[in-house]
Structure 1
Amino acid sequence: MPGGRLTQQDRRRIAAGLTDGLSYAEIARRLDRPTSTISREVARNGGHGGYRPQQAQQATAQRARRGTPAPPPRAPRAPGTPDGSAEEEIIELAVRSGLPRMTARVHVDLLLSEDGRRTAAELTRRLKVSPASVSVAVNFLVDQGYVRRERDPLRRRDIYVVDDDAWYRSIVLSAQRTLDTARAATATAEKVGLDSPVGQRLSRTGTFLERVIEDMMESADRWRDLLA
């Protein structure tokens, strides 16, 4: 029943939802439970990639038999910082938009940091992952313009920063790459001949992409002051 303990059937449905790529919020809606119940259940039983319903059921039964005390309270969050379930939901949305899960975790951790700054060592410690995983994630984020890299000259280490201009910068980089694709399509169309079906298709594609990107950049420039 809603609000009661999770049953073994509930846990099977959670596992099935994770396999299908559903967000915690969607799984919670289907089970008529709070999103925090689902995120807490998954987090304490192997995490998103390691959740197993049978083991989760057994672990819950063992905790109930030995009367496991409540977990210690979390450290206080900075004012305005989302709670754990909200953070997981943001990560899920980023993954569904195409970001690799580790990259999404790193990006969200940076976004939710009080000053938008972390070192690689801090990210490794906070996310409990290998330095190599963090390196791959931050390199992708820097390449896409979501994050910029600063050098700490005193301690000779990199600091990764999400600043107010990050979203504008990422749009500009994405737009430039799409514009390069549009121009390549137009150039290829001219080579194969604008009177051929292939040439006409590529020409239309190039023109469409170029016009859309021009409109997008005008809009980004017009609203950039909102990030200041």
Structure 2
Amino acid sequence: MGGGRLTAKERGDIEAGLADDLPYAAIARRLGRPTSTVSREVARHGGPGGYRAEHADRASSWRRRNRPPRPAAPPATDAEAAHGRDPDAVRAFTDAFATLMTAAGLPRTAARVLACLVTTPSGARTAAELAGLLGVSPASVSKAVGYLEGLDVLTRAHEPGRRRARHVIDDEVWLRLWSASARKNAAWADTARAGADLFGPGTAAGARLEAMRRFFAGVHRDMTDPSAGTALDDAMTVLTALLHAARPLAGGELAAALGWPPARVATAVRAAEHHPEACGPLVLRRTPSGAHLVTARHDRLTPAQRTALARRSDDPEVTA
């Protein structure tokens, strides 16, 4: 697989893949990169709905120019584990840190392994070292390490002349954990959306599930898209264009009318569809042919309110 920094072309391919609704794994296969590289890149630069290749490239260049020099990590030895501090105080802090992560949902041994690596000077230990420090069996460490590797929290490194691999925690671990949490919120929102569609907006269960969907969709957007304004602003422009046209328009027609690349239109459409709560009283819909049109949202009104409004619009005295 490819290594090193992502190029401007690769970032363009990532933007195009997102516009095509490809999963991260499929985009990564196209690039010959690990899936984690693509997921971190997207999470770092606006999320699936706001990723822009040129913005990401500029931000990455700025970070490289302004990154402070990284001090060399000292070799990991048991004598240095306390950083010159009181060993009992370090142990108490490590236990408290592990307890916090357990409360957040990590299995206990996995939380202890992670806390141990965070507080180790080099951020790396072998399985045998972890077992000795934590007072657990090698099998327990192996299971915990496998769990953390499944979350993309740990990596393995082999040093020259050493047969055993070292388990390493790097500086981007919290970004990856954040991304995993964001994906869970997206799954909650998708499940709630399916339930709201099943029961219908006019029922108590449907309204409750729609409120749940809006909550988790908003949390997901806030977590993954610090520049959500870009995609949502484009979405509002698309909705305004459809209102002005007063007829359904295909994606290509919208792109031509707005003078945008098709990928930008696709991203704006996806933002409007995935975050209807941010589009006010309007909602984007698709015709059977795949064209886009804009209508008023119905979930803001109860069935009784819609009936009353329809009755008033039919009253000659009101419409006169």
TM-score normalised by the chain length of structure 1: 0.55
Q: Displacement of 1:79 after TM fit?
A: 4.5
* C-alpha contact 1:189 1:199 (8 A) present in aligned 2: yes
Q: Displacement of 1:219 after TM fit?
A: 4.5
- Counterpart pick for 1:78 among 83, 91, 95: 83
* C-alpha contact 2:145 2:154 (8 A) present in aligned 1: no
- Counterpart pick for 1:148 among 135, 150, 154: 154
Change (3 A) 1:150 1:87: closer
Q: Displacement of 1:125 after TM fit?
A: 2.4
Q: Displacement of 1:141 after TM fit?
A: 2.1
**1:200 match:** 207
Change (3 A) 1:157 1:178: farther
Query: Counterparts of 2:136 and 2:112 in 1: how far apart (Å)?
Result: 11
* C-alpha contact 2:155 2:169 (8 A) present in aligned 1: no
Tell whether 2:142 aligns with 1:139: no
Query: Percent identity of the aligned residues?
Result: 35
* Secondary structure, counterpart of 1:83 in structure 2: helix
Letter in 1 for 2:113: V
* Secondary structure, counterpart of 2:120 in structure 1: coil
Query: Counterparts of 2:172 and 2:227 in 1: how far apart (Å)?
Result: 11
Structure 2 counterparts to residues 205-216 of structure 1, below 5 A: 205-216=212-223
- Output one character per residue of 1:19-53: Cα deviation in whole Å (capped at 9) or x when no partner: xxxxxxxxxxxxxxxxxxxxxxxxxxxxxxxxxxx
Change (3 A) 1:88 1:151: closer
* C-alpha contact 1:149 1:160 (8 A) present in aligned 2: yes
**1:191 match:** 198
* RMSD over equivalenced CA pairs, Å: 2.9
Q: Displacement of 1:122 after TM fit?
A: 2.0
Tell whether 2:129 aligns with 1:125: no
* Secondary structure, counterpart of 2:225 in structure 1: helix
Letter in 1 for 2:201: L
- Output one character per residue of 1:180-208: Cα deviation in whole Å (capped at 9) or x when no partner: 22112102211232222212211111111
- Output one character per residue of 1:137-168: Cα deviation in whole Å (capped at 9) or x when no partner: 122222334x2222538666543221111001
Q: Displacement of 1:126 after TM fit?
A: 2.2
Query: Counterparts of 1:134 and 1:168 in 2: how far apart (Å)?
Result: 24
Higher relative contact order (CA 8 A, sep 6+): 2
Higher-Rg member (1/2): 2
Q: Runs ≥4 in structure 1, deviation > 4 angstroms?
A: 79-82, 153-158
Change (3 A) 1:97 1:188: closer
